[in-house]
Amino acid sequence: MVSQDDIDAFKDEAGQVSSENIREYFNQLRGHDWYYDYSDDYRVWQRGSKNRDILMNKSHENIVYKRMYNEFAKWMVSKRELPTVEEFINYDKEV
């Protein structure tokens, strides 16, 4: 069984991410072809699917990354404006 101390330590470690890393992941999200799934070209679809998997896996590393991924997904389906990096800098200190 996992102790509360272990959970707290994980939360502390997972919540710490540098603004440089946030900017890097943001740029990866922004550069992703969010509409790859609509492509008729199998190579485009395959490349987009592989990149999506990479981005999703990275989103599980940190709560800030998870929020970033989710906000871009909302943007993709027109539920919000394009996210900005400033929304995520110091987000971990607000939570």
Q: How many CA atoms lie within 13 A of 30 on its CB side?
A: 11
Domain residue spans of the chain: 17-94
Q: How many CA atoms lie within 13 A of 79 on its CB side?
A: 7
pLDDT for position 4: 57
pLDDT digits (tens), the chain, 95 positions: 545 554 455 455 555 788 899 999 999 999 999 999 999 999 999 999 999 999 999 999 999 999 999 999 999 999 999 999 999 986 545 54
Regarding pTM above 0.95, the answer is no
pLDDT for position 17: 84
